[in-house]
Amino acid sequence: MDDDIILNEVATRVVPMICAFGLYIIFNGHLSPGGGFAGGTVIGVAMVLFSLVFGLRATFSMVPEGTLILMISLGPAWYALTGFVGLFRGAAFLANGNAGIGLGAAGTILSAGLIPVITLGVGVSVAITVTVLFVILVEAD
């Protein structure tokens, strides 16, 4: 589809904005509706749009297939490592305020201790999973 100039130009401008909106949803998930799953899905859909417009070859040149597979396991590992912070501080797994993590000022982005860090890991995992599932479905055809 490289011959469609309008589609290429629109996708070039829209995909970064969709990814930025997905990051906004991830980082504001503890303050408003959203979070890691919703934001990761939005970013994953942006990657699917990129793949539909520019093809899988362009997607793999941007993010190699091996990196996609590695990043699928990065999200759960990130979640587990964040959970161990509570254990290392002598509290329960995924402990936040009880483990002495600073919770910040209420209503701000940094107001939930480790929750934004956890949702970032969930968002990355969901975004990559959506992208990989799309790639698997396209390659199966």
DSSP secondary structure letters along 97-134: GGGT----STTSTT-STTHHHHHHHHHHHHHHHHHHHH
What region does 20 belong to: left with phi over 0, alpha with psi -120 to 50, or beta? alpha
Residues ≥6 apart with Cβ < 8 Å to 34? 25, 26, 28
pLDDT tens-digit readout, 70-129: 888 888 888 888 888 888 888 888 888 777 787 777 777 777 788 888 888 889 999 999
Which residue type, as a one-letter code, is found at position 19?
C
pLDDT at residue number 134 = 93
- The phi, psi pair for 90, rounded to 5°, reads 85, 20
pTM: 0.86
